[in-house]
Amino acid sequence: MLTIEWKERLKKDTADYLENKLPKHDFDFEIIFIAYPERVNGKLPNDVIVHVAKSIVQGLGKAHDKHTAFYKHLWNKKGENGRLAFIAIMAKLASKKPALYLPMVETAMQTAEKAELTSLLDKVMLPLLRKKPEKYLAHAYRWSHSPHELIRKQSVNLLVKLIKRKPELTAEIVQYFVNQWLQPLGDEAAEHTTLLKAVQKLDYELYLDIWRQHVSSRDPQSAEILCASIMSYHPEIEEIVENWTKSGNARLKKAAMSAQRILNKKKP
């Protein structure tokens, strides 16, 4: 927990850095907090870095867009502390100039570790999505098609967090994914199942409606996604699955047989 005294000290040292070091392209921002005495498992506490990052944004004011090279340096060259500062800075600035900062966030996503990627999406993108989903959903949709598995997974997790906070978006988001089922999904299919499992917990009636949309379907991929999402028993689902077990399509039948075993275990 930062004391008031250290908050003031760090704010003062940040102002000194912004006035005397940053204009000379000295990106060694560690000088701001190097004197802070406490360490947790040998590391500087996160709240120190976040406080410094917020002080940097405040100190730069309207000139924030003149220092993109500094922000990129933080992510690429300054290790864990730099990446934490980058995320905190982007969380403050992304909404001010999204056309400038979101490409930087997307670039950072390509090299982010799992915890870093989760933090980027939670702190930068989730607030934007909650405020203006009509503007930013396209970004999350595009990332759900990324060739990088981690980005795909975390993008879907981001959408799940969004629909938990804004349930009125659930049907729209789910339908976006369902509309893709008639084209080959490859490795992306796993994320579709993840989304359906989340919807099943949040809005079971909507989940049933998706099954009802496919009552006459014989598409193996759609069946595989639906069958893999089953977490509880429902007679309507059982009826559809039972019908699929009689299919002459080996892939469809295999998915249905597996689903039938799950339903039998869940059946009251």
pLDDT score of 39: 87
Residues 62 and 102 in one domain: yes
Residues 55 and 126 in one domain: no
Residues 199 and 250 in one domain: yes
Cβ–Cβ under 8 Å, residues 240 and 213:
no
Question: What does the pLDDT look like over 134-143, one tens digit per residue?
Answer: 999 999 999 9
User: Which of these three, 129, 150, 165, is where a domain ends?
Assistant: 165
CA distance 201 to 23: 52
pLDDT score of 41: 85
Residues 63 and 135 in one domain: no
Tally the residues of the chain.
Answer: 268
- Ranges of residues in the chain whose predicted pLDDT is under 50: none
Residues 185 and 268 in one domain: yes
- Rounded to an integer, what is the distance from CA 236 to the centroid of its chain? 33
CA distance 58 to 15: 10
Q: Print the domain residue range for 105.
A: 1-111
Residues 8 and 106 in one domain: yes
Residues 176 and 155 in one domain: no
pLDDT score of 1: 77
Q: Name the domain count of the chain.
A: 3
pLDDT score of 131: 98
pLDDT score of 236: 98
Residue 177's nearest CA partner among 161, 162, 190, 164 is 190
Residues 5 and 100 in one domain: yes
Element (DSSP H or E) covering residue 81? helix 79-93
Residues 161 and 266 in one domain: no
Residues 1 and 107 in one domain: yes
Residues 68 and 139 in one domain: no
CB neighbour list of residue 126: distance below 8 Å, 6 or more residues apart:
158, 161, 162, 165
Its pTM stands at 0.93
